[in-house]
């Protein structure tokens, strides 16, 4: 399947408007079904084959460390020169999104990094920002979910915290987003505090990545 742009322009515009207005946005049915299903299968197969590692916090190769009391998911980093056909299609769509963001919001984004992520039942990621405090190069966080027939009772929501928190209410919640299949979420990496709530009985799957602005 060849692709120039597989994402509807209306969806891209909604994402850009949301990022500009509130720092985050979400749309459903992000990719054509064939691509989303194929990516889901690749993620699941690679997890079953033991190709994922426990996720840590900090910068890889610098101050990375395992902190299971903060984060308990598993990831497999995707290398740009080793992408499958369907992973490359996703990278192409993110690149198209990057170009539109640069045109509309003048962000000067350069590249994209990403990994498969899986949260087994009861795993979580406590409240955090996605950029590293000492190297603020991640600018837009991008998440695409692969959880078919996901219901409220399955848990695993993405919790976004309000930006207008004061000292008396630092944990005010702006919204909780259910990680349903083919739902895409993006947010300002240096601005939006968020948390991954535990899922109940099912694995919670996604591609998570970051559009970066190199200094």
Q: Give domain limits for the chain.
A: 9-212
Over the Cα atoms of the chain, what is R_g?
16
In degrees rounded to 5, what are phi and psi of residue 106? 55, 55
C-alpha neighbours within 13 Å on the C-beta side of residue 45: 6
Q: Is 194 helix (H, G, I), strand (E, B) or coil?
A: strand
* Average pLDDT score over the chain: 92
Categorize the per-residue pLDDT at 161 as very low, low, confident or very high, splitting at 50, 70 and 90: very high
pLDDT of res. 135: 56
Better-predicted residue by pLDDT, 180 or 131: 180
User: pLDDT tens-digit profile of 45-101?
Assistant: 999 999 999 998 876 666 668 888 999 999 999 999 999 999 999 999 999 999 999
pLDDT of res. 66: 82
Query: Could you say which DSSP state residue 197 is in?
Result: P
Better-predicted residue by pLDDT, 171 or 147: 147
CA distance 104 to 99: 9
Better-predicted residue by pLDDT, 61 or 1: 61
Q: Could you tell me which CATH class the domain 9-212 is placed in?
A: mainly beta
């Amino acid at each position: 399947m060849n692709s120039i742009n597989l994402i509807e322009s209306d969806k891209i515009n909604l994402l850009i408007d949301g990022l500009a207005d509130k720092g985050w946005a979400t749309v459903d049915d992000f990719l054509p079904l064939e691509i989303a299903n194929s990516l889901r299968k690749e993620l699941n197969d690679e997890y079953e084959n033991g190709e994922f590692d426990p996720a840590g916090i900090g910068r890889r190769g610098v101050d990375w460390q395992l902190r299971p009391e903060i984060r308990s998911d598993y990831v497999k980093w995707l290398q740009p020169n080793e992408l499958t056909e369907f992973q490359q299609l996703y990278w192409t769509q993110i690149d198209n999104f990057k170009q539109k963001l640069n045109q509309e919001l003048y962000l000067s984004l350069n590249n994209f990094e990403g990994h498969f992520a899986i949260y087994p039942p009861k795993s979580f990621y406590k409240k955090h920002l996605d950029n590293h405090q000492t190297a603020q190069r991640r600018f837009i966080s991008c998440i695409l979910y692969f959880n078919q027939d996901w219901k409220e009772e399955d848990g695993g929501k993405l919790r976004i915290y309000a930006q207008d928190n004061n000292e008396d209410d630092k944990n005010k919640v702006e919204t909780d987003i259910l990680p349903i299949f083919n739902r895409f979420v993006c947010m300002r990496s240096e601005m939006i505090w968020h948390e991954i709530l535990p899922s109940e009985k099912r694995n919670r799957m996604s591609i998570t990545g970051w559009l970066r602005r190199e200094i």
